Amino acid sequence: LSYKEMVKRIFMALDKKPRFVHLPRWSFRLALLGLYFLPRFKLWSVAMVDRMDRDLVFDHKDAAAEFCFSPRPFLLENKDFP
């Protein structure tokens, strides 16, 4: 499940139309320079964007065998939100 697909499913579960804004990496880096001085955004980094594009899928066979782990699909409904 890609990050974009996860966000899309969250919006759909909230009955909202997902809208995505794609920015070049350099523009995000530039924006971070300005936001750095605001306490709320002090911990933001370009690495956050890099992680969104990284494939974090892993083999869960060992976890399934050792802990009876059985992953569920990422399916949301409006009732999943408070």
In this prediction the pTM is 0.64
How far is Cα 60 from Cα 69, in angstroms, rounded to an integer?
A: 8
**pLDDT above 90: residue 16:** yes
Q: Which of 40-44, 51-55, 65-69 has the lowest mean pLDDT?
A: 51-55
Q: What is the mean pLDDT of the chain?
A: 88
How far is Cα 14 from Cα 8, in angstroms, rounded to an integer?
A: 10
State residue 67's pLDDT score.
93
Q: For residue 59, what are the CA distances in angstroms to 1, 37, 39, 43?
A: 14, 41, 38, 31
**pLDDT above 90: residue 23:** no
